[in-house]
Amino acid sequence: MSLPSPTHSSSRHKSLYLQVIVAVVTGVLVGYFFPNIGASLRPLGDGFVKLIKMVIAPVIFLTVCTGIAGMADLKQTGRVAGKAMTYFLFFSTLALILGMIVANVVRPGAGLHIKRESLDSGAVASFVTEAHSHSFTEFLMRIIPSTTAGAFTSGEILQVLLVAILFGISLAQMGTAGEKVLDLFRSLTSLVFGVVRLVMYAAPIGAFGAMAFTVGKFGVASIGHLFELVLAFYVTAILFVCVILGTITRLMGFSILRLLSYLKEELLIVLGTSSSESALPGLITKLENAGCPQGVVGLVVPMGYSFNLDGTNIYMTLAALFIAQATDVHLSLGEQVALLLVAMVSSKGAAGVTGAGFITLAATLSVVPSVPVAGMALILGIDRFMSECRSLTNLVGNAVAAIVVSRWENSLDTVQLHAALDKKSSVES
């Protein structure tokens, strides 16, 4: 059976892209004009995200395992992981600082004068409990699965990554004796990505259901009194992507806008489903087709989904200071630095947890007593509208990270990168 021609593949993806756009717009309209119907369509969005999560574990395992086994030497694996963590720590901290600066300049919560006793602490009690159960030590222990098979059923990306790394190293050490297993894994990789392509046909349905639910359940009007916070967050995220990440990509020799255009299908799916995981398989394929080696992409992207959540970090400091301003809590520079340091740890401690943005915020506020944790109730209603922006920023941040680390490794095929970004590549995802 021959592979589809690039023209056929390109037209198929263009069609899917247009279908997702129509689905998102239609979902917003249904949710706005028929809120009860829109709110009932949540299973469509949740169902699609579950389909994607179903294949994430085998995608990561096979990509990482074959990538490591195909590396020239095992030292490269440790070197790539080290460079990735260096990148993650620097830019995730930069995102936290940017959110704090914007909160101090814009002051979106100033003037609300909300009394602590009027806050509904019960509304966020479950998030606080969840945050306390995900300390940094607990996070480290969660990386180790109870069983090898359990890593594929736990839903924990880092567990799959750990198993994949160990299997990849073992396979590399087998030498020629492991070539048959490596060939089998490569064939399975093609099989799994074939399943991903089939699942992606349901993307318009998932995007439609998720957007209809969001607008129907929460209503656009719920943004009204907190519009300044939502706007500040979106503008800050855009500045981070276009200015900070844009500067990095310019140093790499290409424009961030070209990268965003190249990843437009994945970005639309994330926008529709409010989940960056829904685009993970497609992101891995796109990066490999853009000249990033499989081994680097396989390590950097899954690690980034836990350690490089730029959008979530911007949200954390911005939201924390919003709550402080709204409840008339004055934080000195020293207290804000302490808040920043706590956020640096808590953002890693709850990594990979469903609803991580809200849970990490609860974890941060719970150890900064001057800011009431119950103040999270103020933004609970609009969190869904900010989660899309968090997920989009996280996705772009991890895409740039994979390209940068590939460049640091001198293994980035710049000719293929520019061909892909210019849509002239002979290999379409």
Domain annotation covers residue 29:
yes
Residue 2 belongs to a domain: no
Mean pLDDT of 84-93: 90
Q: Is residue 427 part of a domain?
A: no
Q: Is 52 within the bounds of a domain?
A: yes
Tell me which of 63-72, 133-142, 258-267, 323-332 is least confident.
Answer: 133-142
User: Structural domain of residue 65, as residue ranges?
Assistant: 7-421
Mean pLDDT of 177-193: 85
Give 219: exposed, middle or buried? Use CB within 10 Å, 0-12, 13-18, 19+.
middle
For 40-44, 139-143, 388-392, which range has the lowest pLDDT when averaged over its residues? 139-143
Which token pair is 318? 């911005």
Is it the case that residue 84 has pLDDT exceeding 80?
Answer: yes
Residue type, 424: K
42-46, 162-166, 411-415, 422-426: segment of lowest average pLDDT: 422-426
Which residues, 6+ apart, have CB-to-CB distance to 122 below 8 Å? Answer: none
Quote the CA–CA distance of 406 and 121 in Å, as a whole number. Answer: 46
Nearest residue to 399 via CA among 203, 267, 251: 267
Residue 400's CATH number? 1.10.3860.10
Confidence of residue 91 (pLDDT cuts 50, 70, 90): very high
pLDDT score for 399 = 94
With respect to residue 214, please indicate whether it lies within any of the assigned structural domains.
yes
Q: Looking at per-residue confidence, does 133 or 303 come out higher? A: 303
Residue 1 in any domain: the answer is no
Number of domains in the chain: 1
Between 379 and 429, residue with greater pLDDT: 379
167 part of a folded domain: yes
Question: Which tokens is 143 given?
Answer: 């990386």
Mean of per-residue pLDDT scores for the chain: 79
Answer whether residue 48 shows pLDDT above 50: yes
Residue 426 lies in a domain: no
| pLDDT digits 0-9 by tens, 54-73 | 888 888 888 888 877 776 56
Q: Does the reported pTM lie above 0.85?
A: no
